[in-house]
Amino acid sequence: MRRSLKYLYVLLSLGFFGCNQLASQDGVFNVTAEKFKHLTSHKSVLVVDVRTPEEFEEGHIPNAINIDFLSKDFKPTIEKLDNKQPVYIYCRSGRRSSKSTVDFKKAGFSEIYNLQGGIQEWKSLKFPIKHLE
């Protein structure tokens, strides 16, 4: 009986993570644009655009803040953020945001969501973009 419960638990766990595509061993979750949009639909979440300020001004995901990954102030700035909450990060294509997950981990974040394909994927699905006024 105990053995079959163990197998059932393993099967259910695999099925859950497979369906949601959120399995992670290190707290970093690479998610699709659809999932990212769903997860960031609340205004109180921490969404970080790690592109340059110029790229950010051209258009960004609503409610995002801009912290340039290429800036010398990147690490000190993210260390000031509330690392007790999940962070949702993106860039143009997903490369810089993927690299930045290491720094977010070092800053104490344990739940990090990275937008696969970056804002390019977001835009291709015609999701909302905000421009600075």
Is 91 part of the annotated catalytic residue set?
A: yes
Catalytic residue among 91, 112, 115, 119: 91
3-state secondary structure at position 33: helix
What does residue 86 show for φ and ψ, rounded to 5 degrees? -65, 155
What does residue 24 show for φ and ψ, rounded to 5 degrees? -155, 140
Q: Which two tokens stand for residue 121?
A: 């994927």
83-87 long-range contacts, Cβ below 8 Å, gap at least 24?
A: 83/107, 83/108, 83/109, 83/110, 85/45, 85/46, 85/111, 86/39, 86/45, 86/46, 86/111, 86/112, 86/113, 87/46, 87/48, 87/111, 87/112, 87/113
Catalytic sites, residue numbers: 91
